[in-house]
Each structure stands twice: as C-alpha cells, then as structure tokens.
Amino acid sequence: MTYRMVDLIQKKRDGEILDKAEINWMIESYVTGAVPDYQMSAFAMATYFKGMTSEEIADLTMAMVKTGEQIDLSDIPGIKVDKHSTGGVGDKVSIILVPLVASFGVPVAKMSGRGLGHTGGTLDKLESIPGYRIEYSIEEFKAQVRDIGLSIIGQSDDLVKADKLLYALRDVTGTVDQIPLIASSIMSKKIASGADAILLDVTVGNGAFMKNIDDARILARTMVDLGNAVGRKTVAVITNMNQPLGYAVGNHNEIAEAVEVLTGGSTKEFRTYIAVLAQIMLQLAGVEKTTEEIIANFDNGQAYEKLMEMIAAQGGDASNISEPLQTKYIVEITADQHGFIEKLGAMDVGLVAMKLGAGRATKADSIDFQAGINLHAKIGDAVSPTDVIATLYSNQPIGDALIAEFKSAVNIGSEQKEYKEILEIIR
C-alpha cells in the first residue's frame, strides 16, 4: 500500500498512533529519496512534541534495521555480547571492559564510533596506537571474534542507512534530544550489529547527553524494552557523568590509563566500577562471577593479555602504549585553597581537552593524540594550596584564558562529598 507522508505527519502532529506498515513505508521511502528531508523534518518535530508509544518505537527501530546490512554472528560459538555508552568525558571503559569480559571466554563483538564535540570517541583513542586498524570487512571482524574472542572496529557504512540520514537531519533541526528517536538510533545499530546480548551504559549529568536522572531512566527503560522485545537480552546501567571517568582525558593518555587498570593499577573504586559492568555482561552470557573473581583477572594479567591480542591482531604497535604524554607545552594547575574538591565539571573539562587538541569541534578537525589532561584529584579528595590537581598537555600554546576555563570547572569547598558512579541498574 502507498501512503502520503503529509497524512502521517498530520497523524503524529495530532497525537495519533502510526501502525507498523505506515512506519515501514515512511522509513523505506525516506532512504530511497521518495520522502524529502523537509517532510521528515516535520515528522521529527511532530514526534518531538507528541512522542511515540513503545510499539511505535519498536516498529521504527526495526524499520531502520532493515535499511542496511544485518550482521549474522550465529556461526561464532557462544553468546556474543556488546556494549554501548551514550557518551561522556574520559570514557575509556570499552577499552578496559571488552578485554576483561573476553578474558573469561565470552566473545565480545563491538562496533564503535568517533567522538564529536569534546574528547575523542573509542575509535580515536584506539587509533592513537600506531597501526591499529579500525576498518574491517564484516568477514574479517567475525573471523577475529571467532579466533581470539574480541574485536573493536569502526561501524560499517552499510549498517542502518536510515539512521545516518535521520541523525544528520535531527542535528540541524533541533530534534536530537528526543527519547524515541535516540532509542531507535542506538538500538537499531546495536541490533543490526548482531550480538545476542547488550549492556547499555546510559550516562547522566554535566558531561552527558541526558542531564537529569528521570530522562536517563526513561531512555534506559525504553532501550531495554526494545532490545528484549526483539530477542536481545539487554540491561542498562545509569552512570554518573558529573565528573570525568578515571583520571585521563584525551586519547593516548586514556589508552595508558586503560593499560594501568588492566594490569591491576588505578583506584579500587574505578576497578570495582568496571568489574560491576563486566559482571553484568558475563551474566548476560550465562557466566556467573563475583566482582572479586573479575578483579583477579586484572591482577593476574589475563585481561591485559586479551587487550594485547586484540591490538596485535588489528595491526597495532603496543610498544609505547604506556608512555606519558609528550607535548611542547605542559601546564600544571594547582589548588588555590585548603579543602575538598566539590565539583569537577565533566563537560567543562572535556571542552578544555578539545581546545588543547584532544577532540573535534567539527567532523573535519584532526585530533592530536598526545594532547589531553591528566587529573590528580577528583570529587571528595582533600587538597591544599600548591597541590597539583591537573596537568594540561598541548602542542599549541596554552593561554591564560584556557587555564582560567579549566579552573572555573573546579570548586574547592569545606564539604567532603561522596561520588557514586553507578546510579541504577535497569534489567
């Protein structure tokens, strides 16, 4: 049956529900060019104000999945798991988590993306390793997961074509922050990627896309329901992004921090946080481990060995992976009073890192893998005057304005605040 796009726009504008056939026609017609951008923009805005039912979101997601390649991982033994984060500052979690989970014999097949707006994405961090190849054919990707149990590559251009078109449109029409469209965008790519089970890391706070816990909870629940409805075991974790994750913000230095964690270093709190995420992914694959058993794979080197296997398999040279940042300009930021760190704004720190060269303001920008920020104190830590709380690295001069911008991200007060990384788990 042929529909008219104007009728579907009017239905959604009036708060009516679209059926599966209407949604399938709309998405297919948009990808083929029969529905123009201006009509899809009108539909996105109508959806922004009127929302969608859970059934509509599921139909939209699956309609988008059908517009591109769908990866079949069924010939790889075991339950394949995947992980997705809605983004943050200092988020090197995948680089630690993927080899950690794989070290227990659970295959992890992950397609990832690049960063835009502040610090780099997972792919940018991995490309700071000389020679690391992110562009794989699907057959190469599957062969590596089959052979060594893990791979992180760039997302295929043939995956979910509707999402690429629709996201670019939403980006310029003020309809990005709309939960049904966010959920269908994320889950269409995860479903098309072929994993049997998915862990979703939904970040919330200053450095995250979702700014309040209520919206994060709705998004997490929507995506969990979507995944489970189409036969993908899905769990979401709502995590705190009011300060950067870990102590490194950048690219090469985040890889170095990932190696530190994988070899038994870093703080107990950060290792435990990663272990809880790993525990959920392992449970999704039917493997029950305590967090203590999981942390043991940091200390015994098994998780680190899986990272080294993946880097070698993808052509990377890990010989200088843990070296400190080396830039022309280095500035130490010191505390200006006694007290405790009460605020360390993640987004503000991320924007400073971008201006140092560690991220992109536009897609055309290049990244300096050596630029970045190393934090030496975080929320709850006691500081005194002259204590170094952060070090900025750049190959461009670091002016007073940028130093002041970083300092404005930090509040030192008299109250020692607790900081909790995992806020909720939604199953």
- Residue 92 and residue 184 in one domain: yes
Q: What is the pLDDT of residue 158?
A: 85
Domain span including residue 345? 329-413
> What's the pLDDT at 134?
94
Which listed residue (151, 156, 185, 394) is catalytic?
A: 185
Separation CA 273–CA 187 (nearest Å): 24
Same domain, 163 and 209: yes
Task: Tell me the Cα Rg of the chain.
Answer: 22
CATH of the domain at 194: 3.40.1030.10
Residue 109 and residue 213 in one domain:
yes
| pLDDT attached to residue 187 | 95
Q: Based on the domain organization, do 240 and 358 belong to the same domain? A: no
178 and 121 within one domain: yes
pLDDT given at position 259: 97
Which of 84, 114, 190, 360 is flagged as catalytic?
84
User: Is residue 189 annotated as a catalytic residue, yes or no?
Assistant: yes
- Residue 268 is among the residues annotated as catalytic for this protein: no
Q: 167 with 21, same domain?
A: no
Q: How many helices (H) and strands (E) does the chain have?
A: 16, 13
* Least trusted range by pLDDT, from 306-310, 360-364, 404-408: 360-364
Question: Based on the domain organization, do 130 and 231 belong to the same domain?
Answer: yes
Question: Can 163 be counted among the known catalytic residues?
Answer: yes
In a domain, 109, yes or no: yes
Instruction: Indicate the number of domains in the chain.
Output: 3
**What's the whole-number average pLDDT of the chain?**
94
Supply the angle between the helices 5-13 and 20-32 in degrees, to the nearest 10: 130
Inside any domain, residue 55: yes
pTM of the model: 0.92
Greatest mean pLDDT among 152-161, 204-213, 217-226 lies in 217-226
pLDDT tens digits along 276-320 = 999 999 999 999 999 999 999 999 999 999 999 999 999 999 999
- pLDDT given at position 244: 96
152 and 200 co-located in one domain: yes
Please give the share of the chain, as a percent, with pLDDT higher than 90. 87
Structural domain contains residue 320: no
Has residue 1 got a pLDDT over 80? no
Give yes or no for residue 398 having a pLDDT over 60: yes
59, 82, 124, 163: the catalytic one is: 163
Instruction: Identify the band that residue 121 occupies on the pLDDT scale cut at 50, 70 and 90.
Output: confident
Q: Which of 170, 233, 355, 360 is catalytic?
A: 170
Is there a single domain that holds both residue 307 and residue 356? no
- Known catalytic residue: 170? yes
User: pLDDT grade, residue 25 (50/70/90)?
Assistant: very high
- Please determine, for residue 28, whether its predicted confidence score (pLDDT) is greater than 70: yes
Read off the tokens for 223: 């995506």
221 within domain boundaries: yes
d(CA 201, CA 277): 9
Q: What is the pLDDT of residues 254-264, one digit of tens each?
A: 999 999 999 99
293 lies in the same domain as 206: yes
- Mean pLDDT within 91-95: 95
Supply the pLDDT for residue 118: 59
Measured CA to CA, the distance from residue 11 to residue 71 in angstroms comes to 34
Percent of the chain with pLDDT over 70: 98
Q: Supply the DSSP symbol for 119.
A: B
How far does Cα 387 stand from its chain's mean position?
32
Cβ atoms < 10 Å from Cβ of 116: 18
CA distance 301 to 308: 11
- Whether 189 shows a pLDDT value over 60: the answer reads yes
CATH of residue 14's domain is 1.20.970.10
Q: Does residue 59 share a domain with residue 89?
A: no
Q: Which two tokens mark 164? A: 């690429």
pLDDT of residue 117: 52
Determine, yes or no, domain membership for 420.
no
Residue 76 included in any domain? no
**What is the distance between the alpha carbons of residues 390 and 148, in angstroms, rounded to a whole number?**
38
Domain membership of residue 113 (yes or no) is yes
Out of 114, 189, 190, 233, pick the active-site residue: 189
User: Coil, strand, or helix at residue 413?
Assistant: strand
> What is the mean pLDDT of the segment spanning 150-175?
88
Does the annotation mark 427 as catalytic? no
Q: Residues 177, 244: one domain?
A: yes
Tokens describing residue 98 = 């993927």
C-alpha torsion sign, points 113, 119, 120, 125: negative
- pLDDT category of residue 157 using cuts at 50, 70 and 90: confident
pLDDT for position 88? 87
Q: How confident is the model at residue 18 (pLDDT cuts 50, 70, 90)?
A: very high
Residue 241 covered by a domain: yes
